[in-house]
């Protein structure tokens, strides 16, 4: 039993990185912008956060640095695709490739650099409950933060006026423009906010989750986060659940191996990616699932006037 | 439809990322020599190149090789010039890098991972005047030979300590790639632990990579969650030790002394010292006595393997036992793989008092009794 409680804890932890990044990308996509640069952006944020913690010893500053790096790169991306009208997919790919190389270059000196002792967290009283405590209440605050962000995003997108405007920009930028909304500025704000969340995910990875820096350490999590938004048919709650599901598959394969279950480990290593493809294939078979929630102008540039 | 194009782009993107990562990974570094240019009369220095699979800063496998390279420079001074290329993937890129090294006039080339075997063999056929040294492989040529270290001797000493220090009687191993060397280390670690504590169970998690700290972390976490309280790894980074440190368990350093990465968790480091062999090989090359078609397998006896920085809280008797093993391996009075050794199914693999020879050891593809799970079927 204890092992399952800890497996659940590890799953929540692994899912948090994906959830933060995918929620960020969801904001982008709800405004009609696809940012394929997530992987590179997360890598740059991971090294930025790591460097900040190495030099200041403060995790909070590390997260801030990661969010800053993410927002900065996203803003650059935003200006390119929104004002200069460059192709979103090509620009995103370029950003991703740039991020992989640039973070490796900046991080050369920080490979195997050590962070100060990592803090342990536990809720008062709740953390001491047998089974439930170690499973749910001994996580890093950001694990709960990701859940709160998801809840806030649901409220923002579906209950607030600003969220309605954001969705309108993603559905029909021409109508939003006709109503007098600054479509391009709103898209830029969404891109920057999404980038900051991706950055937070990257910093969480290098500062809390692993915690060390090595080039390419995001290891495809940015791409999985991108797939997650489609997998979740652009609904925040499903994004969160999907993130835990994907995190769970990752942890489960190690758990099964450790428990001596006779499954080829190479197969298990591929499982999260197989799951991504299977789910994408499944939901694509049902067009209404996608059409109901997919922003109608996703990936399309908007030129006012 | 838009969502369709997004997905196909995703796939393309994944491929491109891999390609880019490979390109980025191949930065070349030339070590600047402190010494002034060699006097005119002197003979040309011997150019020696090293191909590393990881970054020199991995704190483990590659770090140990690079330390030996530095020792080599110290030993021979301006008689040699060394250079290295780090993070050379075990793929077609390895051949390109090694060919490049030979083309640049290096006369002695060390390839430091199993996966360079075929690429080195190919290049060796084209550069007959260049001497090739391949670590941990088994294929040789007139101008290519192999060298390896008996890492399992360090694994045994680690096992003895682990068997004593565990409270849950469950040990965890984060394993890299299922080749005989790694399987042998898992077994030997378990045998060492059983020699002091017969109740030991060893659990194994394969990450199928030599160097991937996030994955090593996840694997270590799941082993600890499954009840293991002493961890051991055959991967190249310090991530397993750092995870043990974070979760209040114990672990070992591997290949290099890793004390600094987890001072509380660290029980000892099973290190490899490549310097004695690198010095010997270089001396032979300088003297014109180097010959191919041979291979060596050095251990504690030759000073290539040791267990260092043992933790202070390990009981005296265990420390003494480790010293005895070290001394026994040195003078040849102690053999690790000595029967009776029983496989997982209870069948005897080595009869009582039979000692395994090197041929037996290099073909280990089974688990001994006490190791949970099955050996992954992907043999070599």
Closest CA to A284 of B9, B5, B12, B15: B5
Report DSSP letters for A261-304, one per residue.
----HHHHHHHHHHHHHHHHHHHHT-HHHHHHHS-TTTT-----
- DSSP bridge pairs for B269: B253, B308
User: What are the sequence ranges of the domains in chain B?
Assistant: 25-31+41-149+274-298, 151-264+305-361
pLDDT confidence of residue A67: 98
pLDDT confidence of residue B336: 95
Q: Render pLDDT for B71-90 as a digit per residue (tens, 0 to 9).
A: 999 999 999 999 999 989 99
Over residues B190-206, the mean pLDDT reads 95
Distance between CA atoms of residues B41 and B251, nearest Å: 54
Distance between CA atoms of residues B180 and A88, nearest Å: 48
Chain A residues with CB under 8 Å of B372 CB are 259-260
CB B349 within 8 A of CB B366: yes
> What's the pLDDT band for B13 if we cut at 50, 70, 90?
low
B168 CB-near residues (< 8 Å, 6+ apart): B227, B228, B229
Chain B residues with CB under 8 Å of A131 CB are none
CB A168 within 8 A of CB A158: no
pLDDT confidence of residue B379: 42
Residue B27 has pLDDT above 50, yes or no: no
Over residues B197-215, the mean pLDDT reads 90
Residue B21 has pLDDT above 80, yes or no: no
Bond into B29 cis (ω within 30): no
pTM of the model: 0.80
Distance between CA atoms of residues A133 and A140, nearest Å: 13
Q: What is the dihedral of CA B1, B3, B9, B11, to 10 degrees?
A: -120
Contact B2 A300 (CB under 8 A): yes
Chain B residues with CB under 8 Å of A114 CB are 260-261
Residue B206 in contact with partner chain A when CB distance is under 8 A? yes
State in words which class domain A2-111+138-293 has. Answer: mainly alpha
Distance between CA atoms of residues B88 and A165, nearest Å: 50
Distance between CA atoms of residues B117 and B311, nearest Å: 37
User: What are the sequence ranges of the domains in chain A?
Assistant: 2-111+138-293
ipTM of the complex: 0.78
Chain B residues with CB under 8 Å of A89 CB are 5-6, 9
Chain A residues with CB under 8 Å of B11 CB are none
Distance between CA atoms of residues B37 and B112, nearest Å: 29
> What's the pLDDT band for B38 if we cut at 50, 70, 90?
very low
Residue B136 in contact with partner chain A when CB distance is under 8 A? no
> Taking CB atoms and an 8 Å cut-off, how many pairs form between chains A and B?
157
For residue A305 the two structure tokens come to 């006037």
Chain A residues with CB under 8 Å of B206 CB are 257, 265-266
| B209 vs B229 pLDDT, higher one | B229
Residue B104 has pLDDT above 90, yes or no: yes
In order along chain A (305 residues), what is the average pLDDT of each group of 10 residues? 84 94 97 96 97 96 98 97 94 96 90 81 86 86 96 96 95 94 96 98 93 84 89 90 88 82 70 73 75 84 81
Nearest C-alpha of chain B: how many angstroms from A111? Answer: 6
Nearest C-alpha of chain B: how many angstroms from A53? Answer: 16
Contact A34 B16 (CB under 8 A): no
Over residues B54-67, the mean pLDDT reads 87
> What's the pLDDT band for B12 if we cut at 50, 70, 90?
low
For residue A111, what are the CA distances in angstroms to A62, A175, B238?
Answer: 17, 50, 11
Nearest C-alpha of chain A: how many angstroms from B97? Answer: 19
The residue among B64, B178, B222 with the most chain A CBs within 10 A of its CB, best to mutate, is B222
| B102 vs B34 pLDDT, higher one | B102
Distance between CA atoms of residues A232 and A223, nearest Å: 14
CB B186 within 8 A of CB B178: no
State in words which class domain B25-31+41-149+274-298 has. Answer: alpha beta
pLDDT confidence of residue B214: 82
Q: Which CATH architecture has domain B151-264+305-361?
A: 3-Layer(aba) Sandwich (3.40)
Nearest C-alpha of chain B: how many angstroms from A47? Answer: 14
Contact A209 B217 (CB under 8 A): yes
Q: A77-81, A120-124, B257-261, B310-314: which has the minimum mean pLDDT? A: A120-124
Residue B155 has pLDDT above 70, yes or no: yes
A36 CB-near residues (< 8 Å, 6+ apart): A88, A89, A92, A93, A95, A96, A226, B9, B10, B13
CA angle A130, A133, A135 (to 5 degrees): 110
Chain A residues with CB under 8 Å of B4 CB are 284
Contact A210 B205 (CB under 8 A): no
Contact B203 A261 (CB under 8 A): no
pLDDT confidence of residue B88: 93
Of A34, A97, A214, the CB nearest to B6: A34
CB B341 within 8 A of CB B368: yes
For residue A12 the two structure tokens come to 């929540």
Over residues B360-378, the mean pLDDT reads 86
pLDDT confidence of residue B171: 97
For residue A192 the two structure tokens come to 């920057």
Over residues B316-327, the mean pLDDT reads 96
Distance between CA atoms of residues A279 and A202, nearest Å: 25
């Amino acid at each position: 039993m204890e092992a399952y409680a800890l497996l659940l804890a590890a799953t929540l932890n692994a899912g948090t990185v994906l959830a933060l990044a995918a929620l960020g990308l969801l904001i982008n996509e709800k405004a009609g912008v696809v940012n394929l640069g997530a992987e590179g952006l997360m890598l740059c944020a991971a090294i930025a956060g790591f460097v900040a913690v190495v030099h200041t010893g403060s995790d909070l500053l590390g997260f801030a640095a990661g969010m800053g790096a993410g927002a900065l790169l996203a803003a650059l991306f935003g200006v390119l695709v929104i004002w200069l009208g460059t192709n979103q997919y090509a620009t995103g790919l370029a950003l991703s490739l740039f991020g992989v190389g640039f973070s490796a270059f900046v991080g050369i000196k920080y490979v195997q650099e050590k962070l100060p002792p990592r803090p342990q967290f536990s809720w008062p009283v709740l953390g001491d409950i047998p089974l439930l405590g170690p499973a749910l209440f001994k996580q890093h605050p950001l694990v709960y933060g990701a859940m709160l962000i998801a809840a806030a995003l649901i409220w923002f997108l579906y209950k607030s006026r600003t969220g309605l405007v954001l969705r309108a920009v993603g559905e029909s930028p021409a109508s939003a423009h006709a109503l007098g909304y600054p479509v391009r500025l709103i898209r830029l704000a969404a891109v920057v906010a999404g980038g900051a969340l991706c950055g937070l995910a990257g910093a969480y990875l290098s500062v809390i989750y692993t915690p060390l820096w090595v080039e390419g350490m995001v290891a495809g999590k940015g791409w999985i986060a991108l797939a997650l938004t489609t997998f979740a048919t652009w609904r925040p709650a499903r994004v969160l659940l999907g993130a835990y599901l994907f995190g769970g598959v990752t942890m489960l394969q190690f758990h099964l191996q450790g428990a001596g279950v006779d499954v080829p480990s190479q197969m298990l290593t591929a499982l999260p990616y197989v799951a991504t493809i299977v789910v994408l294939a499944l939901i694509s078979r049902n067009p209404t699932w996608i059409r109901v929630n997919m922003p109608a102008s996703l990936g399309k540039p908007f030129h006012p006037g | 439809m838009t969502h369709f194009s997004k997905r196909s782009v995703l796939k393309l993107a994944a491929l491109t990322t891999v390609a880019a990562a490979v390109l980025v990974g191949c930065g070349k570094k030339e070590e600047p020599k402190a010494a002034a240019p060699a006097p005119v009369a002197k003979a040309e220095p011997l150019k020696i190149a090293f191909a590393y699979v990881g970054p020199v800063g991995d704190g483990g496998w590659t770090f140990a090789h690079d330390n030996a390279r530095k020792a080599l420079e110290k030993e021979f001074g301006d008689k040699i010039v060394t250079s290295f290329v780090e993070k050379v993937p075990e793929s077609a890129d390895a051949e390109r890098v090694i060919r490049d090294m030979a083309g640049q006039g290096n006369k002695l080339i060390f390839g430091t991972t199993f996966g360079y075997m075929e690429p080195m063999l190919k290049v060796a056929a084209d550069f007959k005047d260049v001497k090739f040294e391949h670590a941990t492989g088994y294929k040789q040529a007139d101008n290519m030979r192999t060298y390896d270290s008996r890492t399992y001797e360090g694994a045994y000493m680690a096992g003895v300590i682990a068997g004593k220090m565990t409270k849950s009687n469950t040990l965890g191993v984060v394993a890299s790639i299922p080749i005989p060397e790694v399987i042998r280390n898992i077994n030997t670690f378990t045998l060492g632990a059983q020699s002091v504590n017969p109740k030991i169970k060893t659990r194994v998690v394969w990450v199928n990579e030599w160097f991937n700290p996030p994955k090593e972390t996840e694997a270590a976490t799941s082993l600890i969650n499954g009840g293991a309280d002493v961890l051991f790894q055959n991967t190249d980074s310090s991530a397993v030790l750092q995870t043990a440190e974070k979760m209040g368990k114990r672990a070992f350093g591997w290949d290099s002394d890793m004390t600094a990465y987890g001072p509380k968790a660290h029980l000892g480091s099973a290190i490899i010292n490549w310097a004695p062999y690198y010095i010997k090989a270089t001396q032979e090359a300088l003297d014109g006595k180097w010959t191919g078609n041979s291979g060596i397998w050095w251990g504690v006896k030759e000073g290539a393997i040791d267990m260092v920085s043992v933790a202070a809280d390990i009981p005296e008797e265990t420390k003494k036992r480790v010293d005895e093993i070290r001394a026994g391996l040195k003078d040849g009075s102690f053999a690790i793989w000595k029967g009776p050794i029983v496989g997982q199914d209870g069948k005897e693999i080595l009869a009582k008092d039979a000692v395994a020879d090197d041929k037996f050891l290099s073909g280990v593809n089974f688990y001994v009794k006490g190791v949970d799970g099955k050996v992954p079927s992907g043999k070599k």
